Amino acid sequence: MVSIFTKGIVKENPNLVLILGMCPTLAVTTSAINAVGMGVATTFVLICSNVLISMLKKVTPTKVRIPIFIILIATFTTIVDLLLQAYFPALANSLGIFIPLIVVNCILLGRAESFACKNSVFHSLLDGMGMGLGFSISLFIIGAIREMLGNGAIFNHQFTHGSGIIIFILPAGAFLLIGFIIAFVNFFQTKNKTINH
């Protein structure tokens, strides 16, 4: 059971290993607060949709399971979108279209199809929590580094005088940073496998 939870954090991290969900990763990680907001929103939708899909797997007709999955994911995404607009309007404005686009995030549909519709509710809950946490951690790391290097700040707290390295706020900087982080993760995992064998 522990492995179901932890695999999404390191071994099968959606962003850094499976390379899924890159569109929101590149777009919203210009600051740490945006990254955390997107991570929490996606985690909520992932957990809720995984659990409900697992609960309904025996009554879901095979021919229409994908549309049903999308409807369930869209329902929870709408709930998150409305909650953000009501209680965190500044964050909702900052994340913009990327909150409604959670519906088409391949992480959610991928977990629904490959895990939730084949496993128990509890295991699906653990999978959703682990994958969501892994996604959130990777978003936070990328967002914090981009904000520090690009703006000289983190969580809007300025710690340098003047501007930072502007490229890290731009999409090109995100690509470069993500490439370096993925290379580091691959190096670490390869080294770990070599030591274990």
Residue partners of 175: CB distance under 8 A and separation at least 6: 26
> Residues 158-174: what's their mean pLDDT?
82
> How far apart, in whole angstroms, are the C-alpha atoms of residue 179 and residue 181?
6
Nearest one of 98, 105, 67 to 81, comparing CA atoms = 98
Q: Helices 32-56 and 106-114 sit at what angle, rounded to 10 degrees?
A: 30
Residue 88 has pLDDT above 90, yes or no: yes
pLDDT, position 90: 94
Range of the domain at 160: 2-196
Per-residue pLDDT band at 188 (split at 50, 70, 90): confident
pLDDT, position 197: 61
Residue partners of 45: CB distance under 8 A and separation at least 6: 73, 76, 77, 80, 102, 108
| DSSP character string of 46-83 | HHHHHHHHHHHTTTS-GGGHHHHHHHHHHHHHHHHHHH
The per-residue pLDDT for range 89-106, each reduced to its tens digit, is 999 999 999 999 998 888
Domains of the chain: total: 1
Per-residue pLDDT band at 78 (split at 50, 70, 90): very high
pLDDT, position 46: 95
Nearest one of 109, 125, 83, 98 to 38, comparing CA atoms = 98
Dihedral angle at the C-alpha atoms of 128, 63, 55, 125, nearest 10 degrees? -10
At 48, list the tokens: 């809720």
| Whole-number average pLDDT of the chain | 90
Percentage of the chain with pLDDT > 70?
98
The per-residue pLDDT for range 6-58, each reduced to its tens digit, is 998 888 899 888 888 888 888 899 999 999 999 999 999 999 999 999 999 99
